[in-house]
Structure 1
Amino acid sequence: MSPVTAGSLARLASAPPTPISLGILYHASQHAKRSQNLLPPSKFIHSELPIRLARLHALLTSQQMPHNMSSLPSIRAMALRTREDISSLLDAPIPDSANTEAHFAGVAADVAERGEVTMRMLARAFGELYAGAGGVVPGEEWGGEEADAFFDRMHALHVGAHLLLSEHAALRSASAHPLVTPLSPTSLATRAAADARTLCARLTGSPHACPEIIIIDNLPPRAPPTLAVAPHVHRVLLDLLANALRATADTRRPVRVVVSRGAEDSFRAWGQGR
């Protein structure tokens, strides 16, 4: 593997990533499945992933990281692993034939697996920061909104790269399902509500201790399905509703979830505690 140079990293990091909506990703995947032609999506990922990973690498090595975290051992290890992944992608031939596409698929699968491990190292970095501060959790000096925005960008880059790699892997598997699928927001909210109440009952020891969750469907009649990553939306809703149930457990007043459609589909939940 040829190590990527600092100049190449800088050029990649300065290149704008291609905007991709879930709709574009879904329809491109469907077309590739129907045509059995994996070359277009593979070529796109071959050129796009190095840009996104280079931008992630730039964040990991940035002096703007809160509390100079770029100097922590785990952050340096994350940056090194990301740089190695970029080198692997750049070394891979452009997937313009069945053989080169199969080779690139192996490289992409390895990058996907390594990427998950790399991002889990971020938790270790926070542990190093905590230990270095003498066990004192940083307070207001942590950085507030700027620090939150910094890690939001880092997370968004990782999620975007992971989504591209996961969709690519699903295209090559007869049994795997694409991550982006059409779904009913109301059905998803109903399932998340049932799971949240099950979790509440398990924690309290009684289903009667859990407030009711009322789903209010404000979607227009015969609304088309929504394209989304169902497991991700379900997890977000489950966390939201579980927190709402904990907050209203004393009053046992119902938690209401409104499903509506504007420029984007949205979920709003509210309840009344003490």
Structure 2
Amino acid sequence: MFIRSTQRCRRCLPIRFFNSSSTPLSLSEEVSILVNEYSLKPQTSVSLQTLFRTGRGELLENFDRNGGEAKSARYSSSPEVLMQVANFIHHELPIRLARRIKDLNDVPYLSDMSSVQAVKDIYISSFLSLVQEPTIDSPVREALFARKLELLYERHSSVLVQMAKGAFEFRQMLKNKEISSLEGEAFELMNDTHAFLDRFYMSRIGIRVLAGQYLALREPTMEGYIGLIDQHTSPYGILKKAAMDSSYMCENMFGSFPEVVISGKLDLTFPYIPTQLHYILLELLKNAMRATVEYHGNDPRMWPPIEVVIADGHNNEDIVIKISDEGGGIPRSNRKKIWSYLFTTVKPEIQKALMYGNDDELVDHSVHAPLAGLGYGLPISKSYARYFGGDLSIESLDGYGSDAFVHLRRLGDSLEPLPF
């Protein structure tokens, strides 16, 4: 929770820990000791409600609970709120980064991939940068901390794509059998690698949410928003935007796109982070479009529409969105594989072109990214759904089509499922 104000002893780090050259940072003995120290500290899990209430100032000791909605806008960006959130992040992020640094360093074989080493470099430098920051005890200090965090946030913006490249390099290594001893342990190694990637991506979502929420609180308040959280998130509105974006991507690849028909509870709104929901829906819609086009051929007149239903009731604990396509379905042998970061149905030569093309076109979650091929869309979408207590599942009829079900926790009271 954000209610704690951190007053811990500050460790001054020798300058030799930092590396301004292009040489990757490594876990020197001193850095390793410090990373291990922070990795043993407990993480603090938050919920959507905690983010919301903290942003409004409700967890400040001097919050006037009789002030009602009239005072919420003032508290949402007050210096007291910003200092409270900044101190929580100052305490929490080094712990989460340290755990991922140890994981990145220890994962078998994947840690040797050049793209993964580059990610570890980013995590080490960010960790060291944050732990040398003093306690935030004034608005001036808070502003300086925010500027540093903003730069780190931007530097991490393509980590997801970099890790996808690492997974591609790992798959190629397995395929080429570059390590002879892998033959008897490849299956177990794949499972261990997938578990690592699951931990890494879930942790990354949490880090991005905490940092993004804090930075958003410092910006001019958008109507109805508390930081990243829209108090009146409209699934219908986000579906329309995701349909436009996936249509754009599909048209770039195939010259046209299937129609998307949306029905159900179109006037529904609830508190959520719209960017996360957009990513989930965009991934499902672009997969449905690609499957429809590839299954039914090149004539757009033969493409059946993709049907979307928004379901909700007054007593429902979940809001459910169903996305249905007639794209031929998923073979039973592939149904578990679609949740793996190490599986994709795109041809290897296309994957290779995507992985080693222009990095500027592969920024995380960009509509300029390819329609398919990176191999992480569905498992990342499931992680986003689960982050605030929801879920994502897919049912398929091989030879006909697939139904994807997005469950979103209405109350926002589920704590982050933080990995160890």
TM-score category, normalised to shorter length: 0.7 to 0.9
Structure 2 gap segments, 5+ residues each: 1-12, 18-29, 58-74, 297-301, 329-420
Q: CA deviation at 1:151?
A: 0.5
Deviation, structure 1 residue 13: 1.5
Q: Give distance in 1, aligned partners of 2:229 and 2:86.
A: 17
Verify: 1:190 aligned to 2:240, yes or no.
Answer: yes
Partner residue, 1:9: 35
> Does 1:115 pair with 2:156?
yes
1:57 corresponds in structure 2 to 101
Q: Percent identity?
A: 26
Q: Deviations over 1:127-175 (max 9, x none)?
A: 6546756857999647444432320210121221122222222222338
Distance 1:214 1:153, change over 3 A: same
Rounded to whole Å, the distance in 2 between the matches of 1:234 and 1:260 is 17
Q: 1:142 to 1:227 in 2, by over 3 A?
A: farther
In the alignment, does 2:131 pair up with 1:82?
A: no
Contact 1:26 1:181 (C-alpha < 8 Å) held by counterparts: no
Preserved CA contact (<8 Å) 2:39 2:99: yes
Aligned length: 265
The CA distance in 2 between the partners of 1:206 and 1:5, in whole Å, is 53
Deviation (angstroms), 1:71: 3.3
Q: Does structure 1 residue 70 correspond to structure 2 residue 111?
A: yes
Q: CA deviation at 1:213?
A: 2.4
Conserved? CA contact 2:309–2:323, under 8 Å = yes
SS of residue in 2 equivalent to 1:156: helix
Corresponding letter in the other structure for 2:311: S
Alpha carbons of 1:200 and 1:164: their partners in 2 closer, same or farther (altered >3 Å)? same
Give the aligned partner of residue 215 of structure 1. Answer: 262
CA root-mean-square deviation: 3.3
Give the structure 2 partner of residue 103 of structure 1.
Answer: 144
Counterpart contact for 1:130–1:136, Cα < 8 Å: no
**2:79 and 2:139 in contact (8 A); partners too:** no
| Cα distance in 1 between the residues matched to 2:192 and 2:122 | 26
Residues 142 and 120 of structure 1: is their aligned pair in 2 closer, same or farther, counting only changes over 3 Å? Answer: farther
Q: 1:149 to 1:218 in 2, by over 3 A?
A: farther
Given that residues 77 and 218 in structure 2 are in contact (C-alpha distance below 8 angstroms), is that contact kept between their aligned partners in structure 1? no
Matched, 1:265 2:319: yes
**Could you tell me how far 1:198 is from its partner in structure 2?**
4.8
**More helix as a share of residues:** 1
TM-score normalised according to structure 2 size: 0.54
CA positional deviation for 1:100:
2.0
